[in-house]
Copies of this chain bind each other. A is one copy, B any other.
Amino acid sequence: MVATGQGPYAILMERCKEIFVLGSSVSILHWDMETKMPPKGLGMRAEQLSALELLIHKKLTDPEIARLLEACEGETSSYDAVQKRNVYLFRKSYDESARLPDALVSETAKHSTMCNGSWKKSKAAKDFKMFRNDLGRMIELREQAAEILKDVKGSKTNYDALLDQFEPKMTAERIDEVFKELRDGLIKLIDKVRSSGTVPDLSVLNQKVPIDVQRKISTDAMSFIGYDTTSPEAGGRLDETEHPFTTGSYDDVRITTHYYEDRFFSSLFSVMHEGGHALYDQGIPNEWMYQPVGTPCSYGIHESQSRFVENVVGRSPEFLNYALPRFRKFSPKSFKGLKNKDIIAAANAVNPSKIRVEADEVTYALHVIVRFEVEKDIFAHKVTVDELPQLWNQKYSDYLDVKIENDAEGVLQDTHWSGGAFGYFPSYALGNIYSGMFLEKMQKDLPQWRKGVRNGEFAPVLQWLRTNVHSKGDMYDPADLVREVTGKDITVAPFLKYLERKMSKIYGF
């Protein structure tokens, strides 16, 4: 460290800490809103979130920050790599935020709280019309922001500016290329699966598993991956929400899942998915706490970690062979007569469906591609709010060959838009692609990892993820991190190869 004491860098990092601390308070208020808040409290919560977001925005755009940044930038030649990156990341946030008017930030925060409420009501009533106006306003607000951010970021389009918030330096053009390769590969794979003639027995997924047994399975899964929610030193929690999510950072990271008696895989894999996110958040180096580099790299990289734990590990024959006897211990009755082979086939069954969060690994990206295309159309003004349900249903029919019966299982299924998170969805499929690349590298570094998982040993895998991904925080943009870890540019091939290998065994082609 070169710049210490009360030099501009030290002061800048103090400011960063203040902003981070307020942001982490916002996370707790959001978590509480989703999990614990009495329903009547929504109005006050909207006021709280809006006030805090505004304060964060004001702190981030304080003209003093610009002066500090300039002072730091004048001395970066003597900075180490972490310091340089901290200044770069703070500059980026500052330039983007300083241009967003206070009123827009405040209204967006307040509106997202109300909009989330109307989304919930609308979904419960299976009626898009109840959500229509709030969604329309949210699109307008995000468009206003995108218009400004496009200019700052030098993005080609409004939608590119939104994408860059979740996946720095990624563009719709590049995603189009990658998604085309992905889509073509997946469609070939789906054809092979179909032609194989093998049809896994999906009924094993729908047998009733009492909720309290599922809770025990969740606890066991968290213990397997090393996500601690129970010890006196625990830094995690598990709660229940309709739509599972992860929030928090460092020493306070929280995940949620949902339980349906006739879909125990849904809770198990939600816990492993969100657990993968949580391990990443907990794995950011503590010595970078409250610094710009002390945050995850991108939403796509985040998703690579969750998908890695959920799919690469959780749906592997090795994990399921290890886990099934344990499930059986929790409830001999529920899992009686279930064979390892059947549960592995069912966990990896390729089966086009309506709901993204329940989708299998092969068809999952098609759900994402629908959303990516719809979002591109929204921000290119090629579709109106009123046309969204129809466009959605049409694409589900075209790409997944399923018929959407109502808005709750269609355009209303995800929470993201109600919070204004347009540009987020592509991260999910990018996460798949990154996870395939990471797997290819880990396979070389840890050739015995599958054997370990078969014996209930996840620690070496976690250690590999910690060393290669978690410990790097936000030192690199996502494409650079992937190159740093794997030595390669973003490529779909390893993910497709991984799927092909697994599916060929299960489907026998």
Chain A positions near chain B (C-beta within 8 angstroms): 17-18, 21-22, 24-25, 28-29, 32, 36-41, 43-45, 47-48, 51-52, 55, 229, 232-237, 248-254
Contact = CB atoms under 8 A, between A and B. Distances in A.
13 contacts: A17-B47, A18-B51, A21-B47, A24-B48, A25-B52, A28-B32, A28-B48, A38-B234, A38-B237, A38-B251, A40-B251, A41-B235, A44-B251
Contacts of A28: 28-29, 32, 48
Contacts of A234: 38-40
Contacts of A235: 38-41
A50 to B, nearest CB: 8
A48 B486 CA distance: 38
Contacts of A44: 21, 24, 249-252
Nearest to A27: B48
Contact of A252 (B18, B22, B45): B45
Given A29-B28, A48-B21, A48-B28, A43 B237 contact: no
A232 B32 contact: no
Nearest 6 A-B pairs (CB), nearest first? A41-B252, A40-B235, A40-B251, A25-B48, A21-B51, A38-B234
Given A21-B47, A48-B28, A51-B22, A36 B237 contact: yes
Of the listed residues A40, A233, A251, the one surrounded by the most CB atoms of chain B closer than 10 A to its CB is A40
A506 to B, nearest CB: 38
Contacts of A232: 39
Given A22-B51, A41-B248, 12 more contacts: A21-B47, A21-B48, A24-B44, A24-B48, A28-B29, A38-B254, A39-B232, A40-B234, A40-B235, A41-B251, A44-B250, A55-B55
Contacts of A254: 38
Contact of A40 (B32, B37, B252): B252
A445 B25 CA distance: 47
A51 B36 CA distance: 24
Contacts of A249: 44
Contacts of A248: 41
